[in-house]
Structure 1
Amino acid sequence: MSQYFELFQLPEQFDINLDMLTQRYHALAAQCHPDKFAHQSAFEQKQAMMMATTVNEAYRTLKSPLDRAAYLLQQQGIAADAPEHTHFAPEFLMQQMEWRECLEEGQLAHDETVLTNLSTEIDDAQAALEHTLAAALGEQSWEEAAELVRQGRFLSKLHHEIQAALP
């Protein structure tokens, strides 16, 4: 079992109980908060700081569906976010170009409706992608899951750009 899932006593899988994750995060964060170790030795203070850092990083990773998927893939020896992985299916590349054009048009025209509709479309695409990603991970289709993580990273970046363009 991988360290992050073990730390939060969760099954090593894509679909997790986010309420349980948050509840266990708060309990662990309280246990290892550096302030609790202020009167301890320098070694114990350093250990508490390292544990707090690990707990925070684990929570951030497991809370995000894309980061959680990338972490699960990492446990299989697959670096989904490695820079050498730039291949996308032609259909996804065409869709990327359409979304980018729509974003550019909405920005140039200062058209909030266009941007809001694009944001909704991207949200729907992200939800569909996460569903497909869960299935790919469940079937241990590691390479498909890695490609979906990369597509999800693009969608996430585009979503942030759209939000930044909205008034």
Structure 2
Amino acid sequence: MMNKALFLDRDGIINVDHGYVHKIEDFEFVDGIFDLCRLATDKGYKIFVITNQAGIARGYYDKTTFEALSQWMVNVFADQGITIAKVYYCPHHPTKGVNNFVMSCVCRKPEPGMIMQAQQEFSIALAESIFIGDKISDMQAASNAGIECRILVNSRYTNESTSEQIEGVNRVNTLNQVSDYIK
């Protein structure tokens, strides 16, 4: 049986984007994220996190630190009655960094590698799935993976002309406006 998925970018969607968030004390959940995920769970969606983490390539933090923070985040969701099926992350950056994660890859958004990995591991019906992000690269990754329902939350990374760059993007100002897309 194929599953439908709610794919979430992390910084700016799950947590307030303070820039390279990697410590629990700097992790601030975005208003509405738990209610949105409860609704998605009730509607039969599996929830995944799809996040670029170039801070690893740049040497701001390491994979162990990121994975520990991710496990804490997953536990907070579990305390709220929400299961995060898996956190997928790309530690690479194509040009900037200080270690062996400086490279081009197929996982860094806008490439669809992380979404495709989730699709294979969890039998995801991508055409029935949803991607919520706050950057054009999120929308491009979702489009490149064949996800039709793409939701762009306005952020410091978007402007008025942003949605014209990718056909079929739904724009919202807050997560509280997303519930109408969860069917």
Under a length normalisation based on structure 2, what TM-score does the superposition of the two structures give? 0.23
Could you say which structure has the higher helix fraction? Answer: 1
Under a length normalisation based on structure 1, what TM-score does the superposition of the two structures give? 0.24
Could you say which structure has the higher strand fraction? Answer: 2
- Structure number with larger C-alpha Rg: 1
